[in-house]
Structures are given as structure tokens and as C-alpha cells.
Amino acid sequence: SMDIKPIKVMDMLQNLFARFDELCDLHGVMKLETIGDAYICATNLLENDDGEEDNNSAKDAAIRALAIAKDMVCEARNVSIPSPIGVGGMHDAWVGQNAVDFETLEIRVGIHCGDVTCGVLGQKMPKFMACGTAVNMAARMEQTSLPSMIRTTREFHDLVGDAEQNWSAKEVIQLKNMGEMETYLLDPISCASFE
């Protein structure tokens, strides 16, 4: 990205994040924030505030989280990567559905489930934030995922249950300061071709 004009990177991210915002509306998912090129969203964040765990609600939220993750991976592939400085071309303008003719984005997705702490921080530019072990674990899943793949923790995988059948075999990975973690990968591109 060093050879791509910053305004082109901003345009690309705006295109991508606008698509993700629409997917949040479609799936009933709450967008929390963007940090650089990361898009953070959550399900069931404000839906069950009575303090009691509802497993059906949690499973529904997990299924919605997985559905939006699959759609995000597929949708990212409709966004063209801008050409480097000094290289002209038609794909400097976003071509939407014709993006397959050019190099397109591939994102990594990480998902975990668990408790988070939320609140509005700051006075000059207040910002709604979610933090906690679950947020950190989801970030670790994203960091260790593969391009155009979704990596989840065993807890999330088990919560989704038989609602998803296309998981790869479990994989134990080493996480910095956390030790070994049992995870699962999902390839939404290959799944989409069978649906």
C-alpha cells in the first residue's frame, strides 16, 4: 500500500465499510467502530440487559454473527484494490460487480463470544467502545486467520452448533500471552458455491 495514494486507500475503505454498514442493517448487527482498516461489530450487545443468560438468544446472535462474517468475506471480494501511483487504469474508479476483472480485497475475520464492557469514553469526541477479553480474543482470531477465511474459538463454534456444517478440522494455535487455543476455520467462498 506504500505505492497507493492515501486518498485512494480512503476511497477503498469507504466503499468497503459502506457495504459492511449495509450488511449490519441486513443481519441486525451493531457496528461498534473502525480502527484503521479493522471493522468491529457485535451481536446481542444491547438485546439482553436483564443480566440473565438466554442460550437461545446467544445461539441466534452467534448464527447472525457468522452469517454477517460470511457475507463480509464475499462482499470484500467485490471491492477493487486501487492501482499503485504511476499506474493508470480503469479500476481507479470503483467498478463494483466488475471487480473480478481486477485485484480485489481479501479480508480475514475473527469471531469469539463472551462478556464485554461497553461505554462512552471521552468528552471532546465521545466514542462508544467495547472492551474485555472477548474483544481481545476476537482480535486474536482475526490476526491468526487466513485471507478470505473466518477463524473462531471453540466456544463460538460450539455455540453455533449444527447450524453450520462446513467447518474445517479443529486447529490448535499458539496465541501470545494466552497459550494454546482450539480454533476452527471456515471458508465462506467455498461454502457459498454449495448453497
Q: What is the pLDDT of residue 54?
A: 64
Does the structure show a pLDDT above 90 at 176?
no
pTM of the model: 0.86
* pLDDT exceeds cutoff 60 at 111: yes
What is the predicted pLDDT for the residue at 2? 64
Question: Given this model, what pLDDT does residue 55 score?
Answer: 67
pLDDT for 48: 54
Q: Give the model's confidence band at 169: pLDDT under 50 very low, under 70 low, under 90 confident, else very high.
A: confident
Q: What is the pLDDT at residue 92? A: 47
Alpha-carbon distance of 70 to 111, in angstroms, equals 11
Q: Determine the average pLDDT of the residues in 32-37.
A: 92
Among 8-12, 90-94, 187-191, whose mean pLDDT is lowest? 90-94
Average pLDDT, the chain: 87
Contacts of 61 (CB under 8 A, 6+ apart): 43, 44, 47, 113
The predicted pLDDT at position 25 comes to 97
**Would you place residue 191 in the very low, low, confident or very high pLDDT band (cuts 50, 70, 90)?**
low
